[in-house]
């Protein structure tokens, strides 16, 4: 089961979570524009230990307008906070590079 998040949103993950997150670009992209590539970046806002939130398995879904990655909070510490950015490149000519982000809070649930 996956969760969809929007730009500027906040995602709360338990320190035991390994969750699949979808990022929906439908409201950002013009009709008919598709995503050619997607890159995920995680930046610490507040990190208590030496381990951090990680992501893997990034893919492009649903008619090339939704990106997805699995976020692994088991490597983070309760109370940690991160900015997660998703940068895409479109199939337009010339191609556009667009970046959106959301915040992740690691919190016991």
**Tokens encoding 108:** 């016991």
Which residues, other chains included, contact 39 with Cβ-Cβ below 8 Å and sequence gap of 6+?
58, 86, 87, 88
Tell me the average confidence (pLDDT) per consecutive run of 10 residues in the chain, 109 residues long. Answer: 92 95 94 97 92 92 93 90 97 97 94
User: Pairing state of beta strands 35-46 and 81-90?
Assistant: antiparallel
Domain 2-106 falls under CATH 1.20.120: no
Return the SS3 of 13.
strand
pTM exceeds 0.95, yes or no? no
| Helix (H), strand (E) at residue 21 | strand 18-24
Give residue limits of the domains in the chain.
Answer: 2-106
Predicted local confidence at residue 75, as pLDDT: 83
Predicted local confidence at residue 1, as pLDDT: 79
């Amino acid at each position: 089961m996956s969760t969809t998040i929007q730009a500027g949103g906040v995602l709360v993950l338990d320190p035991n979570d390994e969750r699949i997150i979808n990022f929906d670009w439908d409201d950002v992209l013009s009709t008919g524009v598709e995503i050619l590539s997607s890159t995920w970046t995680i930046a610490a806002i507040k990190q208590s230990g030496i381990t951090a939130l990680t992501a893997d398995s990034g893919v492009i879904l649903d008619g090339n307008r939704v990106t997805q990655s699995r976020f692994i909070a088991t490597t983070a510490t309760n109370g940690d906070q991160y900015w997660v950015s998703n940068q895409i490149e479109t199939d337009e000519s010339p191609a556009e590079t667009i970046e959106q982000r959301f915040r992740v809070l690691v919190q016991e649930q």
